[in-house]
Copies of this chain bind each other. A is one copy, B any other.
């Protein structure tokens, strides 16, 4: 379900947050879907429950999920702002990367075709 990479220096709980966010924002997880319990997920990923706890707590603070005592954690109905913030972050990232690619003289066309390829390849797929 989730992919953790210990060699990546981003903390485990951040990796979990990131991946859940993406699933929520992209619609893989829909509002009021139940997400795995802390203990369940900890067992699945063979990591410490505290780490999951921390991820869930922050996701709740940021408004992505909500917890119901005794029942579990659930996806929040999406506020448009959340998606916009995420999008803005990604575009800023993109700009920095592209600027460096330009610096090392990777041709414009090469960058464009990579992007075209990505969008095309998934086109028949889960692009609902």
Contacts and interface: CB of A to CB of B under 8 A. Distances in A.
Interface residues of A, number: 50
A7 B96 CA distance: 17
A93 B71 CA distance: 27
A87 to B, nearest CB: 6
Interface string A72-104: 000010100101011110110111111111111
A111 B85 CA distance: 16
19 contacts: A6-B68, A24-B103, A25-B100, A26-B100, A81-B88, A86-B100, A86-B104, A87-B104, A90-B97, A91-B106, A94-B101, A95-B114, A98-B114, A98-B115, A99-B118, A102-B119, A111-B115, A112-B112, A112-B115
